[in-house]
A and B are shown apart, each in its own frame.
Chain A
C-alpha cells in the first residue's frame, strides 16, 4: 500500500509568481484535502476534492485553486503569490465521509521572497 506523496519537497518563488503543488493520494482513497500550515500554527483547511469536484472550501481567496484527477491525485495552484503564502502545504487523503481519519503527506515547504 502506497502512502501519500507530495512534490516538490521544497520550493522558492518570488512574489507575484504562480505555483503548482502535486499530491498522490493513498491507494484506495477517493478524497483529497489541502492544508496550509504556517510556522508555529496548526494546519488550516484550504479545500477538499471528491470525485474531481471541490467539496468544501476554507477561508482562502480564489487565487488558491485545485484539481483532482481520475486517479484521485491532486494539484494545488496558487496565483499571484504573496509573502504570507510562505508555509508548509499539506495534502491528506481519506475515504469520503471520513475527513478526520486522514493520511497526510510529508508536505511541500513553499518560501515566497
Chain B
C-alpha cells in the first residue's frame, strides 16, 4: 500500500523556525495535508497544498512540495511553546481517502 514517512521527534528553541519533513510514495497524490494534534484532542487541519503547487504560505506556516522527490515540508516561523504538539502529514490519491504518517512530535523549549 501507499506509505507516508515522517521523523518521530523534533526539538527547537522558542523563537526559532521549525521544519517538519515528510516523504510519501503515492505518485498519484492529489492533495497533501498537515494536521496538528494536541494531547487528548482530535486532529486540527493546519493547511493543505494541491499537487500542482510547489509552495503555499499561510501566516507563520510555509508548505514546500517537491513532487519529483515526493517530499513535503512544513516550516513554522517564530515557533512558540503553544506549537508543541504532534504534526501529521497526510496525502490523498485518486480515492480521496487520506493516508497519514505516524506523526512528528514537536517539542518547543524556552
With most chain A CB atoms within 10 A of its CB, the pick from B35, B97, B99, B102 is: B97
Say whether A100 contacts B100, CB under 8 Å. Answer: no
Question: How many of chain A's residues touch chain B, expressed as a range?
Answer: 20 to 34
Partner of B92, one of A40, A41, A100: A100
For the complex, would chain B's binding face be called helix, strand, loop or mixed by DSSP majority?
strand
C-alpha spacing A4/B4, complex, angstroms: 26
B76 within 8 A of A: no
Say whether A102 contacts B97, CB under 8 Å. Answer: no
Binds A, one of B11-19, B36-44, B56-64, B66-74: B36-44
Say whether B97 contacts A106, CB under 8 Å. Answer: no
Give the total of B residues in contact with A, Cβ under 8 Å. 24
Given A40-B102, A41-B102, A104-B97 contact (CB < 8 Å) = no
Given A56-B97, A99-B98, A100-B48, A106-B41 contact (CB < 8 Å) = yes
Partner of B100, one of A4, A42, A106, A107: A42
For the complex, would chain A's binding face be called helix, strand, loop or mixed by DSSP majority?
loop
Say whether A99 contacts B97, CB under 8 Å. Answer: yes
C-alpha spacing A97/B48, complex, angstroms: 15
Write the residues of chain A forming the contact surface with B, with a CB cutoff of 8 angstroms: 4, 33, 40-45, 48, 56, 58-59, 90, 92, 97-107
Write the residues of chain B forming the contact surface with A, with a CB cutoff of 8 angstroms: 1, 4, 31, 33, 35, 40-45, 48, 88, 90, 92, 95-103
9 closest Cβ pairs, A-B complex: A42-B100, A104-B42, A104-B43, A99-B96, A100-B92, A100-B31, A106-B42, A42-B102, A100-B98
13 cross-chain CB contacts under 8 A: A33-B97, A42-B4, A43-B88, A45-B97, A59-B1, A99-B96, A100-B33, A100-B48, A101-B45, A102-B45, A105-B42, A106-B41, A107-B42
